[in-house]
Structure 1
Amino acid sequence: MEQLRDAAAEGRIDFEELDARLEQALTSKTHAELAALTADLPRPDSAGSRPPLVLKGGLYGASRGPGRWEVPGHVIAHGGVGGVKVDFTRAECRLTEVVVEAYGETAGVTIVIPDGWAADTGGMDPGFGGLTDKTTPDRLPGTPLIRLTGSGGVAGVVVRHPNRWERRKLHSNPARD
């Protein structure tokens, strides 16, 4: 029952599904019946065994994306003097939630998420540079939630969907599967 509640809290199943599965759990008579109730749930930590992706802006900046890359469960971005950009628009993400620790420092951090993805910025300290959230709350089913933590530092942290130029570039250069 705890696994089912956790899955609902993390958005891996909706609350209607939770109620149905909890009812089945309470009437189950064998361990096999109980195991069947969680066997199809996506695991929240399927990429959790991988080390976090650490990006440090340093003097010249750093970026990840917009090409194909596999998203780990934890991303750490330090803006440094050169800044950091994390672009998830073509990323392959099998997780329901990704924690992004962003530290704006001197040059800032920019996080670009595809349309349909959502960001939770409640864990961010805006610092002097602030936090700019230009995302929409319209999360599509099955898409990840980017959970932001960290501090805006002096330069700030921006989370947004692709801008016009990035959309044009994505459209003119479609992803190959």
Structure 2
Amino acid sequence: MGENQQPAPFRPDQMRVSHDEREAVVERLNTAAAEGRLDFGELEVRLDLALNAKTYADLVSLTADLPPEIPVEPLVIKGGMNGAARTGRWRVPAQITVYGGMGGVKLDFTQTQCRLPEIAIEAHGQTSGVTIIIPDGWAAETSEMNPGLGGFKDKTTSERLSGTPWIRLAGSGGTGGVVIRHPNSWERRVQRRGGV
């Protein structure tokens, strides 16, 4: 390099992308196709480009003509008198607050597809308790839980698969208690049969 030559200015769009960033664009493209924004041919071409992208510039053009994603608001679930449940396929936000109330709450993540790196859950067992079911391969950090009178049970394993969310659980067991666990044998059978 000569004395008067300056290095080329750094361009952020030329930075290398990670596998997770490619996967996020793939998920966004699949969602756009499901909404009817892309036909199958367009989807196929864009998916191939996304999976082979090297830089941010390669990825940006693939979603530039799609509307921005709307962030999912924090979720608050209250058991009230009759109880409440969030099961099946549902959109998981990064923050969830759960109150067991008189009827209890069941929070089941086993059929969700979640790419968040972390989910913060604040659970209060109150009178009837809270049960949280996470898929095999997800792991939870539960040191911030206060057992209260009803207690707290962590029946999860510490084995976490790559690309799965880390659950950060805090709150109090109240009188009804809080349980976090993986699916039981009956729930696994229902999943294998494709039931809800």
Q: Do they superpose with TM above 0.5?
A: yes
TM-score range, shorter chain: 0.7 to 0.9
Higher Rg: 2
CA 1:30–1:124: 2 relative to 1, 3 Å: farther
CA distance in 1, matches of 2:142, 2:181: 12
- Structure 1 residue matching 2:15: 3-state secondary structure: helix
Equivalent residue, structure 2, for 1:144: 165
Equivalent residue, structure 2, for 1:87: 108
* 1:34, distance to aligned residue in structure 2 (A): 9.1
* 1:35, distance to aligned residue in structure 2 (A): 7.0
Aligned positions, number? 144
Identity of aligned residues (%): 52
1:77 counterpart = 2:98: yes
* 1:149, distance to aligned residue in structure 2 (A): 1.1
Q: Select the residue among 154, 157, 173 that pairs with 1:133.
A: 154
Equivalent residue, structure 2, for 1:117: 138
TM normalised by structure 1 equals: 0.73
Q: Select the residue among 61, 64, 73 that pairs with 1:51.
A: 73
CA 1:168–1:49: 2 relative to 1, 3 Å: same
Which amino acid in the other structure matches residue 88 of structure 1?
Answer: F
When the two chains are superposed, the root-mean-square deviation of aligned CA atoms in Å is 2.5
Q: Select the residue among 135, 146, 153 that pairs with 2:174.
A: 153
Which amino acid in the other structure matches residue 55 of structure 1?
Answer: I
CA distance in 1, matches of 2:162, 2:186: 27
* 1:126, distance to aligned residue in structure 2 (A): 1.4
Contact 2:72/2:92 (8 A) holds in 1: no
Which amino acid in the other structure matches residue 115 of structure 2?
Answer: R
Contact 1:87/1:111 (8 A) holds in 2: yes
- Structure 2 residue matching 1:165: 3-state secondary structure: helix
Which blocks of at least 5 consecutive residues in structure 1 are unaligned?
A: 1-27
1:62 counterpart = 2:84: yes
* 1:31, distance to aligned residue in structure 2 (A): 3.9
CA 1:36–1:152: 2 relative to 1, 3 Å: same
TM normalised by structure 2 equals: 0.66
CA distance in 2, matches of 1:165, 1:135: 17
List structure 1 runs of 4+ shifted beyond 2 angstroms.
28-35, 37-43, 47-50
Which amino acid in the other structure matches residue 80 of structure 1?
Answer: G
Contact 1:48/1:73 (8 A) holds in 2: no
CA 1:53–1:30: 2 relative to 1, 3 Å: same
Deviation string for 1:75-121 (max 9, x for gaps)? 11100000000000001212010011100000000000000000110
Which blocks of at least 5 consecutive residues in structure 2 are unaligned?
A: 1-6, 25-68
